[in-house]
């Protein structure tokens, strides 16, 4: 396969504005956190429509400081989905709390509020819903549960920058929301993340935890040595963002509406291409949402096929198309099995989704002809392997 013929799974869209901004930053000499991180935080905060934004070195870091800021720790339980990236569960373990998994719905692969409700105990301190693939979760039902039982909603919006739920931007709904700007995400700074919240106290504590627990505030106010004095007020982490990365973020954010439109166009094209292919279940935006299509995850009806998902992926790769699987369920990984025992069989929707899911290429620079080729190749493979 030639390089041109090969279709990657994801690619960032970096423009001249990003490049010029990075060069400007390097010339200015602010190679770590400085004025551009502030600019990026303010722009992101205003875009989401929320009072505070705290930039972080990754989406994982943003989630971790969110839990730390909320004062969650040993003895507390946090409910999340088994159909996610390991980071969502790892952060709960980092702070010494107990992750409690709740199964997903099969129509949108998001956490099922009915399953969340079953898992609530007096120790439940928060739930971390993941807006899978860029499709918002059923926030109204989750908010109602959180209010009734008095726990926090900390959203993992690693897939969902720019997504909307019933006219509200993701980030402006739950108590805190963490975004990721990792290379494969729908907007990127290479590595980076952002935590947003309307709560001033949570924002202040999150910022403290992301900066080694260092604070100058009280010294600046009360001491004539304010310019060098500081206090380590908590056991924090080295999780700040740099101006070099914020330079990318400022322009990625400005570009986000266009990036989203391009992804939505590709999703519509795939939906049309698979319209009359019964062996493939196609994802759809459900309800009153704006889906940002970080991922396009089809599900093979393997009972109709003579090949399994693994073979399908191999055949796609042989024909020059990269695909992947989002996600291998959390409880299938050995580290969690060692810790929690064998939970297989407890999350039937997650497990049955996992058997058939395949993520197809989706990114703004993917051409109409390439989408067509992916769709036709996938269709051809399933037609040749009908049971
Ligand atoms: C990417 C991702 C994260 C972690 O983001 P990083 O920026 O890579 O730390 C967390 N949760 C989900 C669902 C993700 O996809």
Positions marked active-site: 185
| Partner residues linked to 52 by β-bridges | 197
Which residue's alpha carbon is nearest to atom 6 within ligand 1? Answer: 59
Nearest to 180 by CA among 82, 47, 44, 286: 44
Residue 192 CA, closest ligand 1 atom number: 7
156 CB within 6 A, ligand 1: yes
Which tens digits make up the pLDDT trace of 302-341?
A: 999 999 999 999 999 999 999 999 999 999 999 999 999 9
Residue 198: count other Cβ atoms within 10 Å of its Cβ.
16
At residue 216 the predicted structure's pLDDT band, cuts being 50, 70 and 90, is confident
157 CB within 6 A, ligand 1: no
Which tens digits make up the pLDDT trace of 184-197?
A: 999 999 999 999 99
Find the 186 Cα to ligand 1 centroid distance in Å.
12
85 CB within 6 A, ligand 1: yes
Which tens digits make up the pLDDT trace of 10-34?
A: 999 999 999 999 999 999 998 999 9
- The SS3 assignment for 228 reads coil
Percent of the chain at pLDDT exceeding 70: 96
pLDDT on residue 229:
85
> Average pLDDT in the 160-175 region?
98
- The SS3 assignment for 16 reads helix
Burial of 269 (0-12, 13-18, 19+ CB in 10 A): middle
Mutual orientation of helices 368-384 and 243-273 as an angle, nearest 10°? 50
Quick one: tokens of 129?
A: 């819903």
330 CB within 6 A, ligand 1: no
C-alpha dihedral sign at 266, 272, 276, 282:
positive
Which tens digits make up the pLDDT trace of 263-306?
A: 999 999 999 999 999 999 999 999 999 999 999 999 999 999 99
- The SS3 assignment for 52 reads strand
Ligand 1: which of 66, 87, 132 to mutate, most ligand atoms within 8 Å of CB?
A: 87
> Average pLDDT in the 27-55 region?
97
| CA dist., res. 101 & res. 256, Å (int) | 32
Which tens digits make up the pLDDT trace of 50-79?
A: 999 999 999 999 999 999 999 999 999 999
Q: Is the pLDDT of residue 218 over 60?
A: no
pLDDT on residue 1:
47
Find the 386 Cα to ligand 1 centroid distance in Å.
36
Which tens digits make up the pLDDT trace of 348-379?
A: 999 999 999 999 999 999 999 999 999 999 99
| CA dist., res. 296 & res. 255, Å (int) | 20
Phi, psi of 166 (to 5 degrees): 45, 50
Find the 187 Cα to ligand 1 centroid distance in Å.
12
> Average pLDDT in the 171-188 region?
98
Nearest to 124 by CA among 147, 140, 141, 104: 147
Q: Between 280 and 221, where is the model more confident?
A: 280
- The SS3 assignment for 55 reads strand
């Amino acid at each position: 396969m030639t390089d041109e013929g090969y279709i990657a799974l994801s690619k960032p869209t970096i423009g001249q504005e990003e490049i010029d901004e990075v060069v400007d930053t390097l010339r200015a000499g602010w190679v770590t956190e400085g004025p551009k991180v502030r600019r990026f935080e303010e722009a992101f905060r205003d875009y989401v429509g929320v009072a505070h934004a705290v930039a972080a070195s990754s989406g994982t870091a943003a989630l971790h400081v969110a839990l730390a800021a909320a004062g969650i720790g040993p003895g507390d339980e946090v409910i999340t989905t088994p159909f996610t990236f390991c980071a969502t569960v790892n952060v709960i373990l980092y702070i010494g709390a107990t992750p409690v998994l709740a199964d997903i719905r099969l129509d949108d692969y998001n956490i099922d509020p009915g399953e969340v409700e079953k898992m609530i105990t007096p120790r439940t301190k928060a739930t971390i819903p993941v807006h899978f693939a860029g499709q918002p979760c059923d926030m109204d039902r989750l908010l109602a549960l959180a209010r009734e039982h008095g726990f926090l909603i900390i959203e993992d919006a690693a897939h969902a920058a720019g997504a909307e739920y019933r006219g509200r931007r993701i980030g402006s709904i739950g108590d805190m929301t963490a975004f990721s700007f990792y290379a494969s995400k729908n907007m990127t700074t290479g590595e980076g993340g952002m935590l947003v919240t309307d709560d001033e106290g949570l924002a202040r504590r999150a910022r403290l935890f992301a900066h080694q627990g260092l604070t100058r505030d009280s010294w600046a106010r009360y001491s004539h040595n304010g310019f060098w004095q500081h206090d380590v007020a908590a056991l924090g982490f080295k999780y700040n963002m740099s101006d070099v990365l914020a330079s990318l973020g400022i322009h990625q954010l400005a570009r986000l509406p266009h990036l989203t439109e391009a992804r939505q166009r590709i999703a519509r094209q795939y939906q049309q291409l698979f319209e009359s292919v019964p062996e493939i279940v196609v994802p759809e935006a459900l309800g009153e949402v704006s889906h940002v299509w970080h991922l396009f995850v089809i599900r093979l009806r393997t009972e109709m096929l003579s090949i399994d998902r693994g073979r399908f992926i191999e055949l796609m790769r042989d024909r020059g198309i990269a695909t992947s699987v989002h996600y291998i369920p959390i409880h299938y990984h050995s580290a969690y099995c060692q810790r929690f025992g064998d939970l297989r069989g407890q999350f039937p929707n997650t497990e049955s989704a996992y058997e058939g899911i395949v993520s197809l290429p989706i990114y703004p620079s993917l051409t109409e002809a390439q989408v067509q080729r992916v769709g036709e190749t996938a269709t051809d493979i399933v037609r040749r392997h009908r049971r």
